[in-house]
Structure 1
Amino acid sequence: MSITDRTFRTYVEENLDALSSNPAREALVHQGRRVTAGEFRALVHRMARALRAQGVERGATVTLLSGNLPETLAARYAANLIGARVNHLYNKLSAESQAHIVRDVETRALIVDPRFADRAAEVTELAPVPDVLVLGPAKVGTDLLELAAGQSDEPFASLARPDDVSTIRHTGGTTGHPKGICTTFEQARWFHGVLAEQPEFERRQLVCTTLAHAAGALADNTLYSGGTIVLLDDFDPETVLAAIARERITDMFLLPPLLYQLMDHPSARHTDTSSLRMVTYGGCQASPARIADAVRMFGPVLLQGYGQNEAGGISVLTPEDHDPDRPDRLRSAGKVLPDVEVAIRDESGRDLPAGEHGEVCVRSAMIMKGYWKQPELTAEVLRDGWLHTGDIGFLDDEGYLTIVDRIKDMIVVVGGHVYTTELEDVLNSHPQVLQSAVFGVRDAHRMEQVHAVVVRVPGSTVDGRQLREKVRQERGAMYEPARITFVDALPLTDAGKPDKKELRRQAEQEVGAAG
């Protein structure tokens, strides 16, 4: 081991140090259970020893099948302390998809939330693993908490090295061969440092989306800054509003569709949300009209973060930039982060000037190590140190980055390209529209047709003819949807994004039936 390796400190060690500075403070809250910083820190060290005793070593894979429990965070920290890589499954994937991932990442130990014991049995029948460890008593596996209780809570010296893989996050595709994004301990620590600006208030973060997504990284930062994490099992707008008022929440992360649900809930106008200091949103495109509504409702507390699992953080739109009278600015993803380089390039790799649309390419210390066991795909997106994001966007003269579409979602029609987010912006700006999703569907002649699925304001009467007329006036006939479907709510992925794959599948079935 080199001198650099011996002196390297992971994000886990830095967080455990922060927890030890005030062990009596409240660190985590879940269903009325309040865990102090000292209790959580002790649990991490005990768990690390228990995992080692079970044969989990540096470089092994620990997979989590767990909800938002304090023990879920502790298990991730413990595994990373050993130098094991952690893969956190999305809970709403099918058992077959979960089993594929468990097998693919060579899982040494599956750590299970007792509430998912039945699913764990299904998964391990399809993909057997050496150890199933449960966060409490259950009818499958071995109780990891019982094993940990018999271990010492003395500090466990980290075995991780900077270039070891700390996390494997899967993205894209719930069937077939999803992409496993590998991030090293060095990159995790660098990203941790980017987030670690100390706020001028005591942070109380509400986690109401899965810890497997962005909320987990923000939770790490909250613990590091001396704050408290309040864990909810899932997103429910009424429960979230009640928790904000009861726990005096200052921070939370929401994907835009969930933010809209929160704003539209009948209780929102009567709930005390004055404690909020930072509402971070991101993960998919947001509607400028709806974000302006959110600023009016919650005040100047919104912050948009744009990034990818492959690239880490890329840009931020600060609360100061959230001007309800500047929809063009709200449409942007903000300014590029310090120490991150962004280039907009055409298909030949040529850098494009300000204002021109092209692929967003990124270079920074946060870029992934590569895709797990997919060297060809890694070489395709990582070229000469630059990550090709697959997003289409542009930089303006002031340095603000705007994302207009995913390359794969752009609709090729007669006469040009339809950028789905631009059409969604037009539809969402209608006062009787809450939300929309736009996608392409091929007709019998293999030509792409523009389809739109729209959620209306309850009780409104806007119809397809009126929306098409608005689109023609503002964007031209090329952008006019061939079909507009009205629904009560958009289907969402496990992370909370509009599920365009499912919408496209439904539309293709309807087109096929009609043909």
Structure 2
Amino acid sequence: MTETGTARFGPLWVDGVRVAETELTSLAAVIHRGLRGLPSGSVVQLPAEPPVGLVARTVVGELDLVHVLGEDTLAYAGMDAAALIDADGVVHRRAPGLRPRRLPGTARLAATSGSTGHPEAVAHGREAITFQASALQERLRFEAGEVMLLPLQTAHAYGASVVELWSRYGVGLMLEHTSPLRTFIPRLVEHKPSSVDLVPSMLAMLLSAARRDDAVAAGIDRLRLLNVGGDVLPPSLVEAARAVCDQRLLDGYGLTEAGPNVAVNCPEFYREGTVGRPLPGVRVRIDDGQIMVSSPSVLLGYVRDGNVVPQTDADGWLATGDLGSVDDQGYLKVVGRRKEVIIVHGRTFAPIAVEDALRAVPGVDDAGVVAVREEHATRDRVHAFVRAESNGTDADELRRRCVEALPSGLGPVRLRFVDELPLLPSGKLDRNALREVVRACT
């Protein structure tokens, strides 16, 4: 473990190569010198490349500055950086321009995924980041010597929350940066980490590999924590995991605006089909089907044209835009996005439920569903995109199976077979891209 300032960096591997402790301390010192003297609240753009980007966010916090995650976040915020740190750790001061460069009271700017529209720049305070790390550590209980495998982008909220455990609690971090989709499965098998964090699309890849290779299945079973987040976990993946390994899928729920984590399953508090209980200190209620969150880690607001625009109500509750329910034991279940609900003749269908019905069809590898209001139409038309398994299944037969699997009452569905489904950088299904495909074909 490396300690510098308030940080307690754990062991770090980037693309399988161990980063020396001396390199981490040297980078921290170089970045600290370069940023010294900047006014409190100055915005600092970090590089995406590790280890510099990982070390820099801690140093920026120690100096009461604002670190920016994601290259486009400043554009969404309508701001400029007062300084930029390059991939070598060199700090470049920026000359003042027309746009604001300071955001007092803020510690981090991060962009939403844009899964439901235009991305927003989200501002969080220092206390929010500290609370998130503490609550997550209390729930997951990492110990000295454990190593987390992370094949997710650290510029997104989910990956960033894992990095905080590395920088604050000395937990080892094995980061797959260059080609995570290609390398995370071999790394899991060969290096035997304690945990892995995945989005559902990556989990599907892992389970597919486990069906073909016993060594991958054994690697999964060795994990203490198999964490899944970033999107709704399809029940079909839970069934697929049960068929190839003895590992529980520790589904969780969060969103950038909430800091990000709201609820997380863990070995001690686990209920299949839910995203777990809210983290300690987080409150959840359901308002007309919508998940509402109150937490010390909710956003200060969206940053637009350099101004923080609050997004919580007068009592501090955040409307998430997600649909869900809470059972009598306090476990939260997430159905999907409120904006994504498909309404046909007064009946509502969650896209994830339709997609899961298609994934259950033999010969189907994955599916994505959107509803689009076509020109001159009186209601939305449902479009299903299906990626077939490469096992030579007859296309007409597969189409027949898919049509039969669709829920009754959904109405006519336009079915398309595709080679790949579009994904956002966060790993979520890019439904906006699917809608653009539909509009381009009408």
TM-score bracket, normalised by the shorter chain, equals 0.7 to 0.9
TM-score, normalized by length of structure 1? 0.74
- Structure 1: stretches of 5+ with no match in the other structure: 1-10, 20-25, 91-96, 115-123, 132-160, 323-328, 347-357
1:315 aligns with 2:263: yes
Q: C-alpha displacement at 1:87, in angstroms?
A: 0.9
- C-alpha distance 59-207 of structure 1, shift in aligned 2 (>3 A): same
What is the percent sequence identity of the aligned residues? 28
The residue correspondences of 1:260-409 to structure 2 (distance < 5 A) are 260-265=204-209, 268-271=213-216, 273=219, 274-312=221-259, 313-319=261-267, 330-346=272-288, 358-373=289-304, 378-379=309-310, 381-409=312-340
Greater per-residue helix proportion: 1
Partner of 1:106: 80
Q: C-alpha displacement at 1:12, in angstroms?
A: 8.7
1:41 aligns with 2:25: yes
Tell me, what secondary structure is at the counterpart of 2:297?
A: coil
The residue correspondences of 1:95-494 to structure 2 (distance < 5 A) are 97=72, 100-101=75-76, 104-113=78-87, 129-130=94-95, 164-173=105-114, 178-197=119-138, 198-199=141-142, 202-213=145-156, 214-265=158-209, 268-271=213-216, 273=219, 274-312=221-259, 313-319=261-267, 330-346=272-288, 358-373=289-304, 378-379=309-310, 381-446=312-377, 447-459=379-391, 460-461=393-394, 462-471=397-406, 475-477=407-409, 479-480=410-411, 482-494=413-425
- C-alpha distance 35-309 of structure 1, shift in aligned 2 (>3 A): same
Tell me, what secondary structure is at the counterpart of 2:385?
A: strand
Output the CA distance in 1 between the equivalents of 2:303 and 2:248: 37
CA contact (8 A) 2:115 2:431 kept: no
1:27 aligns with 2:11: yes
Output the CA distance in 2 between the equivalents of 1:49 and 1:309: 31
- C-alpha distance 242-175 of structure 1, shift in aligned 2 (>3 A): closer
Higher relative contact order (CA 8 A, sep 6+): 2
Output the CA distance in 2 between the equivalents of 1:415 and 1:255: 32
Q: C-alpha displacement at 1:212, in angstroms?
A: 0.9
- C-alpha distance 294-130 of structure 1, shift in aligned 2 (>3 A): farther
- The more displaced of 79-88 and 310-319 is 310-319
- C-alpha distance 376-291 of structure 1, shift in aligned 2 (>3 A): farther
Output the CA distance in 2 between the equivalents of 1:434 and 1:37: 43
- C-alpha distance 49-176 of structure 1, shift in aligned 2 (>3 A): farther
1:62 aligns with 2:44: yes
Output the CA distance in 2 between the equivalents of 1:212 and 1:367: 18
Partner of 2:100: none
Q: Partner amino acid for 2:346?
A: G
Find the structure with the greater CA-based Rg.
Answer: 1
CA contact (8 A) 1:205 1:219 kept: no
Q: Partner amino acid for 1:59?
A: G
Q: Deviations over 1:109-145 (max 9, x none)?
A: 222337xxxxxxxxx9xxx9439xxxxxxxxxxxxxx
Output the CA distance in 1 between the equivalents of 2:21 and 2:301: 34
- C-alpha distance 437-295 of structure 1, shift in aligned 2 (>3 A): same
CA contact (8 A) 2:235 2:356 kept: yes
Output the CA distance in 2 between the equivalents of 1:486 and 1:377: 43
CA contact (8 A) 1:12 1:77 kept: no
TM-score, normalized by length of structure 2? 0.85
Out of 411, 435, 440, the position equivalent to 1:504 is: 435
CA contact (8 A) 2:253 2:264 kept: yes
